[in-house]
Amino acid sequence: MNKQLILSKRPVGLPDADTWTLQETAIPQATEEGQIVVHQHYISLDPAMRGWMNDVRSYIPPVQIGEVMRAGSVGQVIESKNDKFKVGDFVSGWGGVQQYSLSDGQGWYQVMPDLAPLPTYIGTLGMPGLTAYFGILEVGKIKEGETVLVSGAAGAVGSVVGQIAKIKGCRVVGIAGGSEKCKYLTNELGFDAAIDYKNAEFSVYDAIKDTCPNGVDVYFDNVGGDILNTALTRINRHARIVICGAISQYNNTDSVQGPSNYLSLLVNRATMQGMVILDYAKDYQKGAMQMGMWMAQGKLKSKEDIYEGIENFHETFVRLFSGEKLGKLVLKVI
């Protein structure tokens, strides 16, 4: 049977376990030309999934009630009527939170498990890594010698952003929650400094001032809220602020907290731009090849935090918002 996680209601605030229903259906079959059936091995858990459950206008249609929960995935083709894929190929795409996925092949691409572990293809070599790559290089437009500040720096996107900025010769400061994550940033990933926003002994404002004495040239934001507002007070002239996510705001039951310090953009002639990885689809291969090369050279590290069992989806999902994870959050469903 095929275990599937179905969206059963629209959550208000942090989703509870009743937001989804686990059901079993027959394993799908490829009955039409062009179709493939993928036995999924790993599911990607990302903060963006929270937004996909809201029935609002966005960059992608919301998941409908009664549909399989949307998610990126990686697995193996077990049946194919598509000339682009053969049985045995390992592929990645939008398979959803289920054990088997039926697709017309659109949006799926082949991956090589002999070159990198499968979870890496939904992490550093997948959408989170590509988001970091295009976000910091194309939107952030970093230059050698600049100071780059990254929030959510120990997460799937932020950790790659900081490493790419270091590869490009920047000074990099990461903001994360907890001493363990901050040590990971500096000791393992090579960040120049790390700010523990949970440390009550100092303010984030003072910490940014101390670790970025010459100001911030590029701020890559994954969290929004107070930290974004504070970072705006320390930006330099012609700074670039990349809005990638706002995880601190996704479960608000009231209005979203916006940056009251936005006039700093005017004073410093700075820019603040949102980015969505879907806009860079034609260049995915280029980005993945470059990051794969950096990984082979030992310049770019990848870390996946893997949990098992589709039955444990909810308790794994909430780790995105509790901070109880390090690196890319992945659910093994095989």
Residue 181 domain boundaries: 127-278
Pair (76, 199) in one structural domain: no
Q: Which residues make Cβ contacts (< 8 Å) with residue 160, sequence separation at least 6?
A: 124, 128, 129, 132, 133, 291, 300
Over residues 17-33, the mean pLDDT reads 97
Calpha distance 290→308 (Å, rounded): 30
Question: Is the distance from CB of 329 to CB of 126 less than 8 angstroms?
Answer: no
Please report the pLDDT score of residue 200 as a whole number. 84
Q: Is the pLDDT of residue 279 over 80?
A: yes
Please report the pLDDT score of residue 226 as a whole number. 95
Over residues 205-215, the mean pLDDT reads 97
Please report the pLDDT score of residue 253 as a whole number. 77
Q: Is the pLDDT of residue 86 over 90?
A: yes
Pair (274, 197) in one structural domain: yes
Exposure b/e, 33-44, CB count within 10 A at least 16 = b: eebbbbbbbbbb
Residue at 63 is within a domain: yes
Please report the pLDDT score of residue 257 as a whole number. 87
Please report the pLDDT score of residue 322 as a whole number. 92
Looking at residue 137, the DSSP 8-state letter turns out to be I
Pair (108, 133) in one structural domain: no
Please report the pLDDT score of residue 334 as a whole number. 86
Number of domains in the chain: 2
Q: Is the pLDDT of residue 6 over 90?
A: yes
Residue 158, token pair as written in the block = 């932020």
Residue 284, token pair as written in the block = 């995915």
**179-188 pLDDT, tens per residue?**
999 999 999 9
Residue at 231 is within a domain: yes
Residue 196, token pair as written in the block = 């523990």
**Crossing angle for the helix pair 284-296 and 156-167, to the nearest 10 degrees:** 70
Over residues 187-204, the mean pLDDT reads 95
Pair (115, 142) in one structural domain: no
Over residues 26-31, the mean pLDDT reads 96
Residue at 111 is within a domain: yes
Q: In the chain, which ranges are E strands?
A: 2-7, 20-25, 36-44, 73-80, 90-93, 100-103, 109-111, 147-151, 171-176, 193-196, 216-221, 235-243, 271-274, 304-308, 328-332
Whose CA is closest to 15, among 330, 313, 324?
313
Over residues 101-122, the mean pLDDT reads 95
The CATH number for 175's domain is: 3.40.50.720
Residue at 288 is within a domain: no
Pair (54, 176) in one structural domain: no
Over residues 16-26, the mean pLDDT reads 97
Pair (104, 148) in one structural domain: no
Question: Is the distance from CB of 196 to CB of 182 less than 8 angstroms?
Answer: yes
Please report the pLDDT score of residue 268 as a whole number. 98
Q: Is the pLDDT of residue 269 over 90?
A: yes
Q: What is the mean pLDDT of the chain?
A: 96
Confidence of residue 252 (pLDDT cuts 50, 70, 90): confident
Please report the pLDDT score of residue 301 as a whole number. 97
Pair (136, 267) in one structural domain: yes
